[in-house]
Structure 1
Amino acid sequence: MSVYPAFNPELTGIQFEAEGKLLFDQFETLDAIAEAIDSPRFSSFGDDRPIPEDFDGDEDDLDEALGPWDEWYSPAEGLKMVIALIDAIAEEADFSEQLDFPDEVIAELTEMKRCLEAAVEQGVLFRLELAP
């Protein structure tokens, strides 16, 4: 699985050029770092609806059980969060040591930062989505 930013409407002339696999693999650690630096959680910009307790199907069944999700977020708020995470990981050994591949995570966050800057300029909304 990977995490990538989606935009509404689509960005013009910009695409997310990272795999997003490390962002998916490390999202719990990124959330913990964000909380430690008083930033919104990384995952708070994605679909964070609770999974029903009695759910035991696969991902496609979950989409059907939860129904459509049409929430979008401010790219400026997402940009602040991404910049705060990049700075914290780059500047604080305590944070970078929590990640398996801190330099690669910073690279994926930096690519997301580039896309979010374009989203702010173009006036589009964003959210984090998952891909297999």
Structure 2
Amino acid sequence: MGMSVFPVFNPELTGVQFEAEGKLLFDQFETLDAIAEAIDAPRFSSFGDDRPIPEDFDGDEDDLEEALGPWDDWYSPVEGLKMVEALIDAITEEPECAEQLDYPEEVVAELAEMKRCLEAAVEQGAQFRLELTP
């Protein structure tokens, strides 16, 4: 199975759903962050919950949510689009970026699906964030 990354919108988008699994985005998020930093774009992970895990925490994921408390951060889809477009361009146009990924074409496909949703969010006036699901 494995974890997946997917965008969530506030308010929920009308007529648009994220149609990718998001597993490659999760598996490759550290590499995507490294590529983003190399091209001076916002990090992929900067649009998700990046609160530090308490040092004394030793429970499971459900307990972590309780330990950290609610997370209410939302981000501009315009900024998200800049990040996604920069990553797509870097991976498709720069061989050294594509070579860092295990499946560059599939990662680009998942990013392109995220781009489609973020464009709809801009049109519909929604904010977004990246969330994880098992």
Q: Quick one: which of 86, 108, 111 aligns to 1:109? A: 111
Q: Quick one: which of 53, 56, 64 aligns to 1:54? A: 56
Q: 2:74 matched to which residue of 1?
A: 72
Regions of 4+ moved over 4 Å: none
Provide the C-alpha distance between the structure 1 equivalents of 2:96 and 2:60, rounded to a whole number of angstroms. 36
Provide the C-alpha distance between the structure 2 equivalents of 1:130 and 1:81, rounded to a whole number of angstroms. 18
Provide the C-alpha distance between the structure 2 equivalents of 1:28 and 1:6, rounded to a whole number of angstroms. 20
Equivalent position SS for 1:57: coil
Gaps of 5+ in 1: none
Equivalent position SS for 1:56: coil
TM-score (norm 2): 0.98
Gaps of 5+ in 2: none
Q: 2:4 matched to which residue of 1?
A: 2
Q: 1:85 matched to which residue of 2?
A: 87
Q: 2:102 matched to which residue of 1?
A: 100
Is 1:36 aligned to residue 38 of structure 2? yes
Deviation digits for residues 58-109 of structure 1, max 9, x if unmatched? 1001000000001000000000000000000000111100000000000000
Equivalent position SS for 2:33: helix
Provide the C-alpha distance between the structure 2 equivalents of 1:52 and 1:34, rounded to a whole number of angstroms. 27
Provide the C-alpha distance between the structure 1 equivalents of 2:81 and 2:100, rounded to a whole number of angstroms. 22
RMSD, aligned CA: 0.4
Equivalent position SS for 1:98: coil
% identical aligned pairs: 85
Paired residues, number: 132
